[in-house]
Structure 1
Amino acid sequence: MATRRISSLFSRSLGRYSTFGKRISSYSTSAAYDVPINPPVQINYTKLLINGEFVDAASGKTFPTFDPRTGDVIAHISEADAEDVNRAVSAARKAFDEGPWPKMSAHDRSRIMLKFVDLLEKHSEELAALETWDNGKTYAKATTDDLPLTIRIFRYYAGWADKIHGLTVPADGLYHVHTLHEPIGVAGQIIPWNFPLLMFAWKVAPALACGNTVVLKTAEQTPLSALYASKLLHEAGLPQGVLNVLSGYGPVVGAPLASHIDVDKLAFTGSTDTGKAVVKLAAKSNLKPVTLELGGKSPFIVFQDADVDKAIEDAHFALFYNQGQCCTAGSRTFVHESIYDDFVEKSRELALKRVVGDPFKKGVEQGPQIDAEQFEKILKYIKIGIESGARLEAGGERFGSKGYYIQPTVFSDVQDDMLIAKDEIFGPVQSISKFRDINEVIQRANATQYGLAAGVYTKALDTANTMTRALRVGTVWVNCYDVFDASIPFGGYKMSGNGREKGMYGLSNYLQVKSVITPLKNPAWL
């Protein structure tokens, strides 16, 4: 998700008029909207992956996964339940206790992961098409962002596999002390729908590099890319039972996985409310450690000395990227009062230029929301924003008549007590507020249950240093936004979760530390 500047090459002329205090606008459109492009990929993997084989659910049930461009069914996926969780965990347990993966040399584990990276590169176009078809993100971004970052994550952790080691520890007395860093065992992993393949990488790559086995639950909205990638992993030589993939619904798959006594570690990315439930389930079973990456309501703060045009462009990107379906979305835009009016007007114009349409069409910047539920939720928040007195600058309605498209929406005069300023909307809705001074904006930025990320735009080093220390968040971007790399740790403060993913910090989620103490019988040489 490396930062990219928003292009206006595909912009259309603007139309606007005012009525009842609201600014109504005409939007850029994609000619492909009414005639969706057929994705250039076949659906080959729709079953559960257990012990190295694609199998039907024990119940025989399936569920549909939908094309968010149209609402039509793409494919029917095997629907797992608690019995399938038991089957998958049993396979992972046996693969860890008896199989070759944790006992294999770290070099050989790395070699298999690197072979998988080669296969990801070979099949990147098919994977990107699956990601767009199942999720609605633009094919352009799937190919330039999601796939390269997925490849980068697996290559990065493949490089770590043979560099995980303990320490020699000085201790009082005549003892030799060293530590071993050992795999934790069976890792249960639950991933979200907004970046299906990338979140697969964030979870699976470090777990495998450390020698663990995995049972992974896909989001029911977006199972296709993880199933395809898992097939490639086995083609690369991953032993049976090391990676098991289940598709289905949270109450009947996620809950049994979180509470399973033979799961040694749990990692979850999703909503804060679900994260709370996951922790309770894990605690009731075996007190397994839980890593959580949860919601966000990230402040995007622009000071009067900032490069305003760049800040406007980056604020647009920070909110509207991936249809606004990002946990790090800069969804609370704070702008200094001296530049506020200009910032709002240019943000409005940029939203009007944004090209909405079929995500497979070249030049489209915004595809549909993930599903009907999210679509309705976003429209409800927009209505609440209007009713609460925020000024609607652009958008506010669905786009087109088919699929789950929403106009890029901009609100100004947003007050901190409004729901659109407090709740995570997870959609293309930008909320802009003004502030007077640094102390005020620090207090307001931190006055939230979330603490995932923040953006700070200023040319003053002292201001930047003050803000990076004062903000209670896991990541602060200064004069940039959404810059990600495999080596950069990621996670939140407060209700945005605990633990860190990516980088060397991500390894600690899947390792246990063992201390080994041996007496020194003949210390004369010391």
Structure 2
Amino acid sequence: MEKYQHYIDGAFVDPSSGRWFETFNPYTGKPWAEMARGDAIDVERAVAAAHCAFESGPWKTTTASERGALLRRIGDLVARDAEKLAAIEVRDNGKLMAEMLAQVRYIPQWYYYYGGLADKIEGSVIPLDKRGYLNYTKYEPLGVVAIITPWNSPLMLTTWKLAPALAAGNTAVIKPSEFTSASALEFAKLLDEAGVPPGVVNIVTGFGGEVGTPLIEHDKVAKVAFTGSDATGKKIYAAAAQTMKHVTMELGGKSPNIVFADADLDDAVNGAISGIFAATGQTCLAGSRLLVEDSIHDDFLDRLVTRAKTARMGDPASLDTQVGPMTTLPQYQKVLDYIAIALGEGATLVAGGKPAEQPECGDGWFVEPTIFKDVKNDMRIAQEEVFGPVLSVIRFKDEDDAVRIANETIYGLAAGVWTRDIGRAIRMTEALHAGTVWVNTYRATSFMSPFGGYRQSGIGRENGAEMIKEYLQTKSVWMNFGAPSTNPFVQR
């Protein structure tokens, strides 16, 4: 089996404890590599390296234009090694090669985009109401950023955080998911090749309580950027508050995908399939609640079930596979538990609902694409994030009813609307409580467009030009060039 060490201060190093843990291939259900099992000592080493690099290393004197050029070199190297990195991700998290290769080939755009923004971070001169003073603002990096990522799209979600963090001049300690750490460590090799100074980016692998907690609580960490479940996000938020850290969090979702009777139904079926069965439903933006207008409900459901039953399951490394395995054994068991919960609540199973039995699925953790009808919006299957290929179909009567159902959730990450009526489309985008609303499409994202959630789906935004300020702080500078001395006991 392969063996992956931590990456600290520009070098690959063994865990301080000498302990390792196995990472599994979801398609075979067998371990394929050993990862360093980090602890608080490893976190201390990584944070110290990042803090030193921020305060006194060559990174501190690197110009913004030089940072931009460095990010563009990273992008070039990721583009060069895209096939290798995608293959590692497929082996480690079981997602489709077709999707992961496209995803990794897209990742360089983040480094190019934020590399271009690095030397365009500009403050302002304030036209004051006071004579004799010059006042201007400047943006400065925060310091050490803790980047904590989930297992579903490891490199992409790391990139969403790391590219703007580096562009802004911060340093970073990355804690990838214990289930999918390999691609981050393969990526670390490219950082060396690109010329990133030692300590600027560090990676410590291991478990949440042993690595994540001491990282979040460290007094030299200035910000936590996290993607994961809302339950974990709340714990991180509370811990970060103890030292007033900056946070951005992209958390869970129970996104409504809303189909009106006037929609192009073939397109809407594709959108519903994409929303829940792409990536085996293991995405925070999954359209896991399908809201269908009464008058087309039965016809649309027939089309959807017919299409879902044709999905090809099997080896995720094969380019013609459409649905891969669950990434982790605990998640596989969780999805099956939720299917049982839905049946117990009175939802009607119309497709799937059990582990896949096809020979091409081998010993992997596969769940059939599953569809429930007769779902009520207050059922657990409609309110709780399953994070798997399980779709809840809910009827609605009209626009107002659709909006009410869509918004009756603790989440607000995304929503989809399918209609030919432009007026309705605009009304729906204004009424839905979601950070992203797609009209006649689903699952579209870009490095140029902000992404994040309302309510318990998160804090802050990722992507886009404005979000680089999530990794900066504002300093206001006052200069007296002629204001007379006044009473020192009165505020100027």
Name the TM-score, length of structure 2 as normaliser: 0.96
Distance 1:222 1:509 in 2: 26
Letter in 2 for 1:473: A
In the alignment, structure 1 residue 338 sits paired with structure 2 residue 271: no
In structure 2, the CA distance between the partners of 1:233 and 1:171, relative to structure 1 (3 Å rule), is same
Which residue does the alignment assign to 1:202? 160
Alignment match, 2:397:
436
State the shift of 1:521 in Å: 2.5
How far did residue 103 of structure 1 move? 2.2
Which residue is equivalent to 1:173?
130
Query: 1:388 is matched with which residue: 339, 342, 345?
Result: 345
**Distance in 2 (alpha carbons) for counterparts of 1:414 and 1:155:** 45
SS at match of 1:73: strand
Does 1:397 pair with 2:397?
A: no
- 1:160 aligns to 2:160 (yes or no): no
Match of 1:282 in 2: 240
Q: Distance in 2 between matches of 1:151 and 1:366?
A: 26
Q: Which residue of 2 aligns with 1:470?
A: 431
**CA deviation after TM superposition for structure 1 residue 70, in Å:** 1.2
Residue 497 of structure 1 corresponds to 458
1:118 aligned residue? 76
Does the 8 Å contact 1:149/1:486 carry over to 2? no
1:301-312 equivalence runs, <5 A: 301-312=258-269
The one-letter amino acid of 2:338's match is: Y
Residue of structure 1 equivalent to 2:257: 300
Q: Pick from 247, 255, 260: which aligns with 2:218?
A: 260
1:522 Cα deviation after fit: 8.9
* One-letter code aligned to 1:336: E
Determine what percentage of the aligned residue pairs are the same residue.
Answer: 46
CA shift digits 1:20-68 (9 cap, x unpaired): xxxxxxxxxxxxxxxxxxxxxx95x710011000001110110101000
CA RMSD of aligned residues (A): 1.3
2:445 maps to 484
User: Quick one: which amino acid aligns to residue 252 of structure 1?
Assistant: E
1:505 CA displacement? 2.6
Residue 427 of structure 1 corresponds to 388
Corresponding residue for residue 22 of structure 1: none
Contact in 2 for aligned 1:102/1:212 (Cα 8 Å): no
Q: For each residue in 1:341-380, what CA deviation from the matched residue of structure 2 results, as whole angstroms up to 9, or x when unmatched?
A: 1110011011101000000113101111011100000011
> Does structure 2 retain, via aligned residues, the 8 Å contact 1:301–1:457?
yes
What SS is found at the alignment partner of 1:266? strand
How many Å separate the matches in 2 of 1:247 and 1:47?
8
Contact 1:442 1:467 in 2 (8 A): yes
For structure 2, the residue ranges without an aligned partner over 5 or more in a row are 485-492
**Matched residue, 1:409:** 370
CA contact (8 A) 2:74 2:108 kept: no
Given the two structures, how large is their TM-score scaled by the length of structure 1?
A: 0.89
- Aligned residues of 1:110 and 1:209 also touching (Cα < 8 A): yes
Count of equivalent residues? 479
Alpha-carbon distance, 1:244 to partner:
0.4
* Cα distance per residue 1:401-429 (max 9 Å; x no partner): 61101111111111112111111000001
Q: 1:489 to 1:102 in 2, by over 3 A?
A: farther
12, 36, 42: which one aligns with 1:54:
12
Determine which of 160, 182, 185 is the counterpart of 1:227.
Answer: 185
Q: Report how far residue 143 of structure 1 moved.
A: 1.1
- Decide which moves more: 54-63 or 148-157: 148-157
Q: Quick one: which amino acid aligns to residue 335 of structure 2?
A: I
Cα distance in 2 between the residues matched to 1:201 and 1:496: 20
8 Å CA contact 1:398–1:405 kept in 2: the answer is yes
Q: How far, CA to CA, are the matches of 1:522 and 1:292 in structure 2? A: 45
Whole-angstrom CA distance in 2 between matches of 1:154 and 1:517: 35
How far apart in 2 are the matches of 1:160 and 1:220? 32
Kindly report structure 1 stretches of 4+ aligned residues shifted beyond 2 Å: 519-523
**Secondary structure of the corresponding residue to residue 363 of structure 2:** coil
- Do the aligned residues in 1 keep the contact of 2:228 with 2:252 (CA within 8 Å)? yes
Instruction: Measure, in 2, the Cα distance between the counterparts of 1:323 and 1:137.
Output: 8
How far residue 497 of structure 1 moved from its aligned partner, in angstroms, is 0.8
**Counterpart residue number, 1:271:** 229
Q: 2:173 aligns with which of 215, 225, 234?
A: 215
1:125-144 to structure 2, matched below 5 A, reads 125-144=83-102
In the alignment, which residue of structure 1 is the partner of 2:469? 508
Match of 2:410 in 1: 449
After TM superposition, give the deviation of residue 171 of structure 1 in Å: 1.1
Name the SS of the counterpart of 2:221 in structure 1: coil
Residue correspondence of structure 1 range 69-108 to structure 2 within 5 A: 69-108=27-66
CA contact (8 A) 2:255 2:415 kept: yes
Aligned residues of 1:136 and 1:370 also touching (Cα < 8 A): yes
CA distance in 2, matches of 1:102, 1:480: 44
Amino acid at match of 2:152: N
Judge conservation of contact 2:78–2:105 (CA < 8 Å) in 1: no
In 2, Cα distance between equivalents of 1:498 and 1:452: 11
| Counterpart residue identity of residue 442, structure 2 | Y
Which residues of structure 1 form unaligned runs of 5+? 1-41
- 2-structure distance, mates of 1:156, 1:110: 9
